Structure formats: C-alpha cells, structure tokens
Amino acid sequence: MMRRFAVFLAALLTSASVAAQTFPSRPVKLVVGFAPGGSGDFLTRLIAEEMSKDFGIAVITENRAGAAGTLAAAAVAKAPADGYTVLNAAPLAINDALYKTLPYDSDKELTPVTNVADGPHIIAVDNALPVKNLKELIAYAKERPGKLFMADAGSGSSTHLAGVQFMSVAGVRFTTVHYKGGGPAVQSLIAGDTQVMFATMPSIIGFIRSGRVRALAITAPGASPAIPGIPGAAEVGLPGYESNSSFGLYVPAGTPAPVVKRLYDAAVKALSKPEVKEKIASQGYASAPSASPQAFQAKLRAEAPIWERVVRESGARVD
C-alpha cells in the first residue's frame, strides 16, 4: 500500500515539474472585472503585454465586467487550475465583506500570485458644478444632501468605497450611481449625468488635462509626484481621509506551485522594468510587486480586517 502511494506521489510531482517546465505552451488569459478604460483594464493590458514578451506566448486580456469584479473572480475560481486563467483584481477581502453571498470562496478557491500596483484616487467633479476646491464641494453638498450624483466603477469597487469613506469623514451625502467600470463612470461625469467621482488616475487624467472635468484633490493626505498640481485631501481641508486603490494577480487554487512561481517571476520581471514603472507612474500608480506569493498572501490577510471594518463602517452592503 505504501509503495503504491509513493509511486502515485512521485508521479504527481513529476507531472507538476513537467507542467512547469513546459508552461506556458498555449495562450494565457488574464481576466479583469472591469470594462475597458479604467485603471484595472490599463494595468491588465500593460502586464499582459510584458508577460507575453517573457513567455513568447500571447497573454490575452479578457474584460468580464459586472458586480464589482465578482463575475471575473468567480470565472477564474472555477477555471482549471493550470495557470492558463489568471485574475487581476482589487483586494478580494472587499467583496468578501460587501456581499452577503458570493459564487466563490476567495480563501479556498483562489491563490495569490503577486501585488501589481498601488495608487490614490482623484476627486473630480463635473465642470458645470459651481465648486473650485474641496472645501467648496463639501459646503455645496451639505446644503444639498442626496442631490449630487456620485459615479463609481461598480458596487464595492475601490472608487465606490473611496466615495463612501469621503461621505463619512466629510459629513455629506451623495446619491450613488454604479457603472460597469471606471471608463463608463467617467463618461457619465463628462456628460453631466453625475456630478462627482472618486476616480482612478488612468481612467480620468486625460480628461482632467483636456479640461473636460475638474480635479479637486487626491485621496491621500499630501500631493503625489505622480499627479503634479493636484493637492492631497488633508492639504485642502479634509484631514483624516485617505483611500487607495491596488491590484494583484490570482490563479485558481490547486495550480501547481512551479506554475505559480513561473507566473510570479514573469510578472515581477515586467513590473521591475524602468519603462513599465514609468508607464505605471504616468497613470498615478506605483509598481509594487510582492517579495513572493507567500508575502502577497500575508499582506492580504493582514489587510482583510481593515477592509472589513471600512465596509462595515461605510454601511455598504449587497445582499
């Protein structure tokens, strides 16, 4: 009996080793839970392009928008555990806290690979709104509770939670409008259908520079060198407010460790290139690969109670 088990175990180890040596032998799919035009889409396409160069095999971006990324996470969680389906997502603990039920178990069905990038949001308003700075926005909103419409990239998205946190700290109330990604949300702001947004930089910076929307501050205490000319929230009258966006890679649980390592190495190699760091910085983010898949998992576990508290205190909940 023991001999048979030893033979079986040896066969499994050999199979995993061979899989890692030949991986990838066909295109890899990198899934993101938001529509084209937002930060998640930008980062996904950038890292997919760079990993393709390393693999010598195509890495294809798939936008599976909806439900703040849960549709994409569910699709990857249920995919074969072979490394050919990868998720780029915001911290999964956000949706774990936000949704009463999910079609997947993030702890049991998804394995962290590496963090990708971190960055603040930009507080932007419709040009027609008669406010020129953050103090004026807060005063204007307090006089009109619920009258201003806030666009976000989906319920539970980082742009949603950044806005909810802002309402709590500033003592104002917006009416929230959820979109399937940062791109559509920004378009609503430009069109005047919504009046305020806590946007990721890639989705909105071009429209700020062209004068189509107005930036008031970033969701960090101080200004960021990656977003020159836009002050931090604390610098312009809202101390105690900070909200960042981050993305990371995940694969289905059970993916062979050597395959996870191959994906990790390719991602870190890409994120360490000066030209890639520059592209990420130009969008208001910082390249931030993890020291190892295990280090990324430890980071996520440490942050999970924080996200749970943020969601609970915000009152945001999806049944």
Distances, alpha carbon 49 to alpha carbons 167, 249, 267, 276, in Å: 38, 15, 10, 10
Query: What per-residue confidence (pLDDT) applies to 228?
Result: 83
**Dihedrals phi, psi of 105, to nearest 5 degrees:** -115, 110
53 within a domain of the structure (yes/no): yes
Window from 8-17, 45-54, 244-253 with minimum mean pLDDT: 8-17
Pair 79, 48 in one domain: yes
Across the strands, what pairs with 249? 88, 114
Over the chain, what is the mean pLDDT? Answer: 91
Integer Cα distance of 267 and 111 in angstroms: 15
Give the residue from 214, 244, 274 where a domain finishes: 244
pLDDT tens, residue by residue, 112-167: 999 999 989 999 999 999 999 999 999 999 999 999 999 998 877 889 889 988 99
Integer Cα distance of 155 and 172 in angstroms: 19
pLDDT (mean) for 286-304: 96
Q: How many CB atoms lie within 10 A of CB 82?
A: 17
3-state secondary structure of 279: helix
The answer to whether the beta carbons of residues 99 and 318 sit under 8 Å apart is yes
Q: Which CATH number does the domain housing residue 55 bear?
A: 3.40.190.150
Amino acid in position 278: E
180 within a domain of the structure (yes/no): yes
Pair 57, 198 in one domain: no
Total domains, the chain: 2
Cis peptide before 24 (omega within 30 of 0): yes
Give the residue from 185, 211, 244 where a domain finishes: 244
13 within a domain of the structure (yes/no): no
Pair 82, 164 in one domain: no
Tokens 């993305």 locate to 247
46 within a domain of the structure (yes/no): yes
Pair 272, 127 in one domain: no
Pair 249, 114 in one domain: yes
Number of residues that this document lists for the chain: 319
pLDDT (mean) for 193-216: 94
Please give the residue range of the domain that contains residue 233: 119-244
68 within a domain of the structure (yes/no): yes
pLDDT tens, residue by residue, 79-122: 999 999 999 999 999 999 989 899 999 999 999 999 999 989 99
- pTM for the whole structure: 0.79
The answer to whether the beta carbons of residues 184 and 98 sit under 8 Å apart is no
